[in-house]
Amino acid sequence: MHYVQVMKTYLSQLNEASADTGLSLLSFFKDAGVPTSTYYRALSGKDLRYSTAIKVEHAILSYTLSTTQSQHE
């Protein structure tokens, strides 16, 4: 039996990271200052640049940290 491993796209990784926040991934693109057209291009199959994915990831992490901190205060 042969198994094919496929690398996850930046978009799928960002979707997973934002899933538990209750917010749409689009909102994190906006928070990161990334044009919404970039989000829609990624949805249509164009891959994101690493630098763009990092900006959005930082927006997700920042939101997650701020909500975690406010829950513990």
| pLDDT of 70 | 74
- Those residues with Cβ within 8 angstroms of residue 9's Cβ, 6 or more apart along the chain or in another chain: 42, 47, 48
Domain assignment of residue 38, given as a range: 10-71
Whether residue 53 lies inside any domain: the answer is yes
Whether residue 56 lies inside any domain: the answer is yes
- Contact between 9 and 47 under an 8 Å Cβ cutoff? The reply is yes
Looking at the structure of the chain, the number of domains it has is 1
Average pLDDT over residues 23-33: 97
Whole-structure pTM value: 0.86
Residues 3-21 pLDDT 10s? 777 889 999 999 999 999 9
| pLDDT of 73 | 66
